[in-house]
Structure 1
């Protein structure tokens, strides 16, 4: 090979373009890949945890690529592991009875196939549509509903809308009552569903600045400046900031991934997380009518959050002193591709970190908080998802999802209103739906042997010891096995979970720990025997804990696309392995419950949801006590008040 491979400084550095090019070239050459093959994904084959944790600067680094391929002609899926160093294939395996995620070029080819289909064209004409270029066809994953005619096929459902011009909001005019099924291997329409003709809504749904009649004129500039530059330093994909050391990566399926997160406490680098990522997300809809009743998109496993990442823009997506990172991926032909500025890193002011006023001496001590933000944003069809990891000076870690974009829509007849959604505009319905995100947290508090403790609070009994009836007690219970650790949020007991290291005690004699501080959440409303509950079983509980297994990465299994279900967490926990003082993985499911409203149209204001990891006995005291005071500004009368 003539490709020059640049040496990396750590085994977890993401594959670069040269490595991707070499890996795909090796496969093309050794397996004589023809045009019927598509490269679904090319990612770093991560070395073992033991290799990573024992790695020292200067040690040899052996690089491998993990590749998923799809042969459209033979309708087969393959997995390959390629040695970058040896330029050879280490593994080549046919994976039967699976469908990998839908690729970006498949989306575009599918849309064109629908527009070119004679039966669909006739259906468009029946609705008065002659200019097919203005038709917008969104391919949706087909799911698995036990239909014999779909068994073994690679299928997408296409739902259609009509634009008035190229840059119009296409989702304003759904072509309801009509949709098509496409065989993605052959790129042929195999079924057209044509029901009643429903008039197109009249509202244009325009939202761009050019289309708004009058923009606000009273907003003054807001600038964030750091004259001396940011406080973080970067070495490849490793960040050092305010005692934090954070390694991160990026891949086409999970997008942004955290690796080996630690905090320097009194000179000791203390590990907290080995790996953290969005393992899966699913969006079940609550409308029983076609085609919405099959809208159950797995945005990680079926589409790839990383593949759909945006190129971020300074002053719009990110504000301040920004460091950007590119994402290196591949197209379906195996050619390296780059998403410029896919990852954003910056600092933010976050209000008061801590404060106290001594009213006797009138001395004021206050520290301002700042946080480090590491983020990416992906567009999945109509929706946008922002994924933000925040690190705080007091040892807190927060993950936040920001949901925005345009709602999925359907048309209804004049005067009609759906039971299963709300009118966004006249004749335009926004079906009710939910968003469930599952986070995989490979914990490593002061070492790989950890446990999970559930804490429930209850009122103390009445009696002489509790004369005013005000006492309450937080009771702890260590979860011992995987089945015991299938748990749900309970507001009545203020339930929370904390990860501890039972082998490491703090200075008051308790195990060091981090608390999983839950935020907004929901339960699924689909019936237990519904297809989506079988395929996304992780929705069934908010907390899962498993014993570490390098092969168990995705909560709904490796290949959720069109899978009948039962894979992932519900299958793994049947082993009922011990999770007490073991190398464990915590899986947290959070749900956003979206009952639609007119204010969500034509573009949805951002909704926020997430969780935090907060130290509980991990530090001797407030770890941010040494943050220096800011310099006073303005009319402050105290030397340390800002």
Structure 2
């Protein structure tokens, strides 16, 4: 933002809008309102009145943390609130028919333009309307039509184009491009809304110049296990069987022996949502939850029993690098949910809620290409769920059992990114632990496979059906964690390792082991280590647990999942700044929010990201930000076809010395008159009393 061009101070909008009047009364951490989105686009369009602006994103520029913290501290103490910092917004856009990617900064409170600039070498993300247009223009292209004629497709079939962000090659691409893959629906299936066209991949792809919406070349697809493209330029389409997942299309139907399972909350939910629509209170937790088209769910000012834990917590980035070395499949590597068109409008944010019981929805806000606010209904689902045993103990002398059931408050966002679904969860529990969970499902991205080819020695993917090859790939995610452990004055990051003690006079029987703590003094990166049970801790050095004497804190509990596998010199690796280490620790900066930098479409890397920032090595002064990388390496299998069973990953932020005893000690006991458990076979005598018989 510091390089934005100067704007004539007289270029102001002197007629206050409703948004200008309301902005000063909003909480500093409130998400953009529809009126504010309108103000941003209106200001930018007015300044550029001679051109047509095509908006890619309008985002909140969060106020400097140094200005927000006094406001949060005043809220905590009940002191008079200081003035709300100026509300600012960022507009990212193109001029119709032009290549330059533009950025503007708007003072929303005053309705003025603070600056505007060209972003040289950067490319903007897509949106749903643009993706649909790319597909339509690709399909209508004469050179694509020539390929379809060459294939001699079955009569009455439907060809489905699927545009993807153009994964960068080693050579820079100055224009904004999209790779388009093609699939087929047979005539008898094309009218069904869930027909699985991915079962019929075609043997060519094309590249579209998005500025002109013209196909610039055909890329022929590999169809055997060799590295070289093997498509015969005279090849004809080879029919292969359908592979359907829709219940009514399954040849043997669905199971008939599953009986209903209902979860009931007869007195309603236990959480409350304030009039601002963002502040949630539940079981001593209090926080703001916001929606953003770049990051999805954002948690702000997370507190437990009035004690701060996090200033800000959000998924900063994701990448899906494919391990297929064959061109053009080597370009498959999607970055961030917004880059793939998810989140800009409602089409790709699908709730598909999988919870049982009472649910509540948060709507989100996006922006249309012409700058209008777009409501995204049901963007976030909120519900409570039973989480099984909370804690239990039976006094073996008296036979009395005391038991509680754990409960969780779940915030769920499901994003459809082309073929895949990502279900993203923040989960709060009654023992003061915050969990982050990811579930991946949907349909694998596939390429054509020549039925006559031998894939038995092919190790970078799997033939999952006749004519269908699924390359191995990874789903890597990065969380940006801005801690505020028991206060907003900064937190220290450490990591603990467990080592066996040397057998000596301190350990005469050779059974001892001990925990060693290492303070992260400088910006750096490191990995988890299962051999030492390494955990990362965020602590407040100024507050101590009265029993242990150690700093109060929270620790990150997560398995050490596999990191990025692409060669260090590859574009997959260069672009994916967070893929080499589980943990990066950097000095706080207001404008460092995304693990691989701000603009990712065809990015070249090296322009900022947690790897670059960690390499600065600056001294950390109790103002650390943690970037945590997690994910899946998906070695494809036939059981993942035609739709993938949900794969899930859960990590936890657990208190360590933050409390003086079990924070779930006061959860009400589990009682039968509340739980209303029933024997499956009531006519049979139960061998023992249920544990919840109290």
Deviation per CA, 1:490-510: give whole Å up to 9, x if none: 111111111111111111211
- The DSSP-based 3-state class of the residue aligned with 1:549 is coil
Residue among 41, 45, 64 paired with 1:28: 45
Equivalent of 2:298 in 235, 253, 257: 257
Partner residue of 1:453 out of 484, 494, 497 = 494
Q: CA deviation at 1:465?
A: 4.4
SS of corresponding position for 1:129: coil
Question: Closer, same or farther in 2 for the Cα pair 1:425/1:394, shift >3 Å?
Answer: same
Q: 1:467-486 maps to which residues of 2 (within 5 A)?
A: 467-483=508-524, 486=525
Give per-residue Cα distances to partners, 1:16-72, cap 9 Å, x unaligned. 22221232122212221633x310111222112233222257655443322111224
Q: Are 2:281 and 1:240 aligned?
A: yes
Which residue number in structure 2 is paired with residue 142 of structure 1? Answer: 166
Does 2:469 align with 1:419? Answer: no
Q: Which runs of 5+ in 1 are unaligned?
A: none
Cα deviations by residue, 1:222-277 (Å, 9 ceiling, x for unpaired): 1112111111110120100000001111111111111010100xxxx111111111
SS for the counterpart of 1:122 is: helix
Q: 1:210 aligns with which of 239, 248, 253?
A: 248
Instruction: Please list, as runs of the form range in 1=range in 2, the aligned pairs for 1:514-533 lying within 5 A after superposition.
Output: 514-519=554-559, 521-533=561-573
**Alignment match, 2:201:** 174
| 1:273-352 equivalences in 2 (<5 Å) | 273-300=310-337, 302-303=339-340, 305-307=342-344, 309-313=348-352, 316-352=353-389
Per-residue deviation at 1:86?
A: 1.8
Correspondences of 1:14-53 after superposition (within 5 Å): 14-32=31-49, 34-35=51-52, 37-53=53-69
Secondary structure of the 1:29 match is helix
Q: 1:506 to 1:546 in 2, by over 3 A?
A: same
- 1:154 paired with 2:176, answer yes
1:359 to 2:383 alignment: no
2:9 aligned partner? none
Check the 8 A contact 1:226/1:321 in 2, yes or no.
yes
CA deviations on 1:87-125 (whole Å, 9 max, x unpaired) are 221222222111111222221111111111111111111
**Local SS of the residue matching 2:273:** strand
Moved more, 592-601 or 558-567: 558-567
Match 1:386 to one of 423, 443, 450 = 423
Distance 1:125 1:231 in 2: 61
Q: Is the contact made by 1:273 and 1:445 (CA closer than 8 Å) also made in structure 2?
A: yes
Aligned length: 629
Q: Which moved more, 1:240-249 or 1:162-171?
A: 162-171
Instruction: Note closer, same or farther for the CA distance 1:463–1:573 as it changes in structure 2 (3 Å cut).
Output: closer
- Matched with 2:185 is 163
What residue number does 2:78 align with? none
- 1:491 matches 2:508: no
Secondary structure in structure 1 of the residue aligned to 2:555: strand
Instruction: Tell me the distance in 1 between the aligned counterparts of 2:100 and 2:307.
Output: 46
Decide whether the 8 Å contact of 1:230 with 1:347 is kept in 2.
Answer: yes
Unaligned runs of 5+ in 2: 1-14, 76-80, 221-230, 678-685
For residue 408 of structure 1, give the secondary structure of its aligned residue in structure 2. Answer: coil
Q: Which residue of 2 aligns with 1:506?
A: 545
Conserved? CA contact 2:51–2:96, under 8 Å: no
Q: 1:572 aligns with which of 610, 613, 616?
A: 613
Contact preservation (8 Å) 1:158, 1:181:
yes
2:481 matched residue in structure 1 = 441
1:407 deviates by 0.3
Task: Name the SS of the counterpart of 1:395 in structure 2.
Answer: coil
Secondary structure in structure 2 of the residue aligned to 1:115? helix
Confirm or deny: 8 A CA contact 2:491 2:539 kept in the other structure. Answer: yes
Partner of 2:591: 551
Deviations 1:270-317 (A, max 9, x none): 11111111111111111111221111111336226533652425xx43
Q: What is the CA distance between 1:520 and its match in structure 2?
A: 5.8
Distance across 2 between alignment mates of 1:637 and 1:136 = 59
- Aligned alpha-carbon RMSD (Å): 2.2
Q: Distance in 1 between matches of 2:152 and 2:112?
A: 57
SS at match of 1:90: strand
How far apart, in 2, do the equivalents of 1:133 and 1:24 lie? 42
Secondary structure of the structure 1 residue equivalent to 2:198: helix
- Alpha-carbon separation, structure 1, partners of 2:418 and 2:336: 10
Q: Hey, what's the Cα distance between the residues in 2 that align with 1:550 and 1:33? A: 34
**Distance of 1:12 and 1:132 partners within structure 2:** 54
CA contact (8 A) 1:309 1:342 kept: no
Once the two structures are superposed, residues 397-431 of structure 1 have per-residue CA deviations (whole angstroms, 9 ceiling, x without a partner) of 10001100000011111143243111211221111
Deviates more, 1:411-420 or 1:220-229: 411-420
CA distance in structure 2 between the aligned counterparts of 1:584 and 1:431, rounded to whole angstroms: 38
Q: CA deviation at 1:143?
A: 2.4
Describe the shift of the 1:572–1:320 C-alpha distance in structure 2 as closer, same or farther (beyond 3 A): same
Distance of 1:593 and 1:638 partners within structure 2: 42
Cα distance in 1 for partners of 2:82, 2:97 equals: 44
1:590 maps to 2:630: yes
Measured at CA, do residues 198 and 463 of structure 1 come closer, stay the same or move farther in structure 2, by a change above 3 Å?
farther
* Distance in 2 of aligned mates of 1:200 and 1:270: 64
Greater Cα shift, 458-467 or 134-143: 458-467
Say whether the 8 Å CA contact 2:159–2:185 is kept in structure 1.
yes
Q: Any idea what SS the aligned residue of 1:27 has? A: helix
Would you say 1:85 and 2:87 are equivalent positions?
no
